[in-house]
Structure 1
Amino acid sequence: MDWHIDDYKAEFLRIYNENIHRPGADKLLDWLTNKSDFFYAPASTKFHSNRMGGLCEHSVKAYYRFIQNLQNEYEESEEGWEGVLSPESAAIIALLHDLCKVNTYKVDYRNVKVNGEWVQKPYYTTEDDLPYGHGEKSVYMIGGFMRLSREEAMAINWHMGAYDLRVQGGSYALSDAYYKFPVALLFHIADVQTTYLDETVDK
C-alpha cells in the first residue's frame, strides 16, 4: 500500500485513540497535534525516513513490528501476548518511543549542482532545546502528561539498544534491563526491523 503523510497520521490517531485511555493521554495527544511537529517531522536528518512525516511513519511501522514480535514470542502462552503486555502499553511504547525528536529538526538550504546549474536544496538540521538524551528524554517528555509503568519506561528508555550512547560509554544497564524486562528487548528489535527493513533513506 502506498501511504502518504495523512494516511500515517490517521493510522497513528486510530491506534492511539483505540488503545490509550489513561489520565493525561488526551492532553498529550492535543500537544502532539496542535503544539508540535510530530506528524510532519522527519525520523532523522540523513538516515531512516529522513523526510517530512517520517517520524509518524516510523512510529506506526514500529507499532506493527512490535505487535508481530509479541505475537511470535508469546504465541504459546494461554493468554496470548496480551497476558504479558496490555494493548495500551504496546501502543504507548511504540507510538511514543521517539517523542524526543519532536520540535528538534529544522529546515535549512544548501547549494547543489543539478544539470550544471546551482540550485538550493532543503535539508534537515538538528536544534535541540532540551538536550536530555534520547530514550530517557522521551520518558521524561511523556511523564509531563501521563504516568508510565516501569515496563513502558524501560522499553522506551532502552529502545536504542547498543546504539545508545550510554552503552557505548561503558554502561552495563542495558543488559540488566533486557533480562528483567524482555518486552524492552522485543521492542528494540522491532525498532531496528522497522528502520532497516520497512523504511528508506532519501538521498
Structure 2
Amino acid sequence: MENNKERFIALFQEHIKREGADRLLAYMCSDQCDFFTAPASTRFHGSYSGGLLEHSLNVYDCLVDYLSRERTKSTYNMNYNDETVAIVALLHDICKTNVYKESTRNQKINGEWKQVPYYEFDDQLPYGHGEKSVYIITGFMKLTREEAFAIRYHMGFSGPEDQRSIGYTFENYPIAFALSTADMEATYFLEGK
C-alpha cells in the first residue's frame, strides 16, 4: 500500500499544478482524511484498507490507456492535458473519504458463529456521490466545467442520475464517458471478485 501512496502523490504532484492543489494534497495526507487507507466499498470492489487508493490508481491507468488510442484522439477528438486526466481519475471518488468505519459482525464459519471485521457506511456529509467529490475538490481548487461534469457523472448509467442528464453529459463532455468507462473497467475487470 505504501508504494501506491507514493505513486499517487508522485502523479498528483507531477500533473496537478493549479492553485490550491497543494492544499488539497496536504488535506488528503492529513489525519483529517483517510483517503490512503479507506476502502473503495463495504462489500464489493476494494473492500479493504487502501482499496480506494488502489481503485483511484487503477482508474487513472485505465483512463490514460483509453485516451491513448488513436481512434479516441482522431475520431472522437479526446485530447486532454495530463492535468485534467489526473484530476478526474485520481480524485473522482474522493467522496468516499471519511465514510467507512471499521466494525465487526457475526458470521457463521464452518458451523460456528465468529466475529469478523467489516466496513459500515456512515456518511456524515450525505451530498450524493459524484457531486460530493466535486464539492470537496472545489473547496480547494477550481475545476473546469468539463472536469466537474466528468467527476459528477462518472457512475454513468449505473448511478441513480436522470438518464437524460447522463446522455447530455457524455455527448457534450466526452471525458465524462471516458472516465465512466475507465471506472467500470477498473471496477469489474481489475478489481472484480
Which TM bucket (shorter chain)? Answer: over 0.9
The equivalent of 2:123 in structure 1 is 128
In the TM superposition, what is the alpha-carbon distance from 1:116 to its structure 2 partner? 4.3
1:74: Cα distance to partner?
3.5
- Distance in 1, matches of 2:122 and 2:108, equals 27
- 1:175 aligned onto 2:167: yes
Q: Which amino acid aligns with 1:64?
A: D
**Aligned partners of 2:174 and 2:74: how far apart in 1?**
16
Aligned pairs (5 A) from 1:25-36: 25-34=21-30, 35-36=32-33
1:88 counterpart (83, 89, 96): 83
Alignment of 1:32-181 (within 5 A): 32-34=28-30, 35-72=32-69, 73-76=71-74, 84-167=79-162, 171-181=163-173
Count of residues in correspondence between the two structures: 190
- 113-122 or 147-156: bigger deviation: 113-122
Distance 2:36 2:151 in 1: 19
Unaligned ranges ≥5, structure 2 = none
State the 1:75 CA deviation: 4.7
Q: Which residue of 2 aligns with 1:14?
A: 10
Q: CA deviation at 1:112?
A: 2.2
Name the aligned partner's letter for residue 13 of structure 1: I
Q: Call closer, same or farther: CA 1:122–1:62 in 2, change over 3 Å.
A: same
Give the whole-Å Cα distance in 2 for the aligned partners of 1:200 and 1:194.
8
Q: Secondary structure at the match of 2:90?
A: helix
Unaligned runs of 5+ in 1: none
Q: Secondary structure at the match of 2:101?
A: strand
The TM-score, its normalising length taken from structure 2, stands at 0.93
AA paired with 2:81?
Answer: S
Two-structure CA RMSD over aligned residues (Å): 1.6
Shift of 1:113: 3.2
Looking at structure 1, the residues matched to 15 and 98 of structure 2 have their Cα atoms a distance apart, in angstroms, of 25
Alignment partners' CA distance in 2, 1:75 and 1:180: 16
What secondary structure does 1:176 align onto? helix
- Equivalent residue, structure 2, for 1:193: 185
1:23 paired with 2:38, answer no
Percent of paired sites with the same residue: 45
